[in-house]
Chain A
Amino acid sequence: MDDNHDEIAELLGAYALDAVDDHERVAVEEHLTRCPRCAAEVADHREVAAMLAFSGAPAPEGVWSKIVDSLEEQPPELDLPALVGPTATASSTAAPPSDGGDELAVRRARRLRGPVLRGAAAAALVVVGLVAGVLIGNDGSSSPGEEVALDSIDAVARRVLNDPQATKVTLSSLDGEDLSATAAVEPDGSGYLLGTSLPALDARETYQLWGIRGETVVSLGVLGPSPDVVAFHLDPSTEALALTIEDAPGVPVSSNPALLVGTVS
């Protein structure tokens, strides 16, 4: 617990009613990220405020149609080329009023990336069980699949990467971060991902690879916290690959933004 806990706690009521100055608001919000007790207190205060505010009035006329109009100006569906293009985060579509530009750009980016991993939950659930066994992580923590020595996988993967018959996929960051991974897929669907440049994660987290076709998102496997070379199997209709960071031991359906994305051409 930090030194100024009591001082901040005294502000919580005023904070919940937006009755603090800016510098105090910043201090409180910073504290709330670290103090669940205070965060819970603020939530309680807001519930009380909400009860005070409630007046049972009808919704304003005409506002809903304005909202719908704005929604239609938003990017409606997953657009794979836009997703991997460098301009994905700088869409020029309409925005809610009175927000800072930076924050909007971030939101749009999230929104664009959102559907990558939020669609088609059912399909993902079915397939995740089927393909998980194909993966071989180098840390031994991620896969119940057949044991193959890392060296031989590594060798196979590098051979496939150099195979002119194989499809290469470069996964890159949507946020312009200096991160990437390369995958190569043979005509029979055998794929290999080289994750050597990926930073190691906390042991409670794992990388997870996803295949995307239209709105269908399928888990291709859980890669563990520090993947080197992993094998997977790819359905030929897959249009793109995406990599996310999830809580170990992985998830059937991701709600996280994609760290890296690459189209399968």
Chain B
Amino acid sequence: MSDSSHPRRPTAPKNSSMTVEQLEQASDATLVVSIGRYHEDALAEVYRRHAGAVFALSRRLLADRTLAEEIVQEVFLRLWNDPDRFDPQRGSLRSYLLAQCHGRSVDLIRSESSRRRREEKELTLAAEAGYDLEHEVWDLAVSDRVKGALRELPEGEREAILLAYFGGHTYREVADLLDTPEGTVKSRIRSGLKRMRGDLVAVGIGGE
């Protein structure tokens, strides 16, 4: 992890529309509208808020700092080039950015190393199928509530979600890894996500 704690606020943008205070108080959706009007300061503020999470996810998935940085760059440039793709009715900006990041990272994983992965399946099984991956989530997740919700899941659901999301595996690969029918894995991922959401909403997180 990096030394100098905080992401610095990017330097003063030339195309500025809001004061620093207004920027800090603006909602994510407002910032995206502003990005649509080519205001770099709005992009800078979105970056300040979310780049850390995007970076952490891509680095975890790719296990490669340089590739992860490229993904961060790509995700934010994409937001700049095509802000209309983000629909605030469809969820938060952070989940949108993380979904973009996850999709691109997984594409990379699958394109560059699919063959190697298959060869190393045995090893992968040993390394990822159980405790380690889960442990990593415990370490990194900031919210006790999220950890709690994950902990509450039936083991099969938890395993399937972690392998798919952090392992970058398709549900078919997960089924293979866990020696479980594909249909079961598919359902478990879905029901696990629903269950987690229910638990989190119940404690006041992610409801809206």
Contact = CB atoms under 8 A, between A and B. Distances in A.
B62 interface: no
B63 interface: no
B101 to A, nearest CB: 8
Contact of B92 (A50, A62, A74): A50
B44 interface: yes
A14 B193 CA distance: 10
A60 B69 contact: yes
Interface in B63-99: 65, 68-70, 72-74, 76-78, 80-82, 84, 90-92, 94-96, 98-99
A50 B52 contact: no
A13 B192 contact: yes
Interface residues of A, number: 55
A54 B53 contact: yes
Contact of A107 (B81, B91, B171, B183): B81
A57 B53 CA distance: 6
Contact of A59 (B43, B52, B96, B189): B52
Interface string B140-172: 111100100010000000000100111011111
B84 A64 contact: no
A19 B82 contact: no
Interface string B1-30: 110111110100000000000000000000
A19 B174 contact: yes
Given A12-B190, A119-B37, A110 B98 contact: no
14 contacts: A13-B193, A14-B185, A17-B165, A19-B174, A43-B90, A44-B197, A45-B194, A47-B206, A51-B143, A58-B4, A64-B10, A67-B76, A96-B78, A107-B82
B180 interface: no
Nearest to B13: A68
B77 A17 contact: no
B31 interface: no
Contacts of B140: 55
B73 A55 contact: no
Contacts of A118: 36-37
Nearest to B47: A64
A156 interface: no
A188 interface: no
- Nearest first, the 8 A-B pairs at minimum CB distance are A13-B190, A59-B7, A59-B51, A50-B95, A19-B164, A57-B56, A13-B189, A96-B77
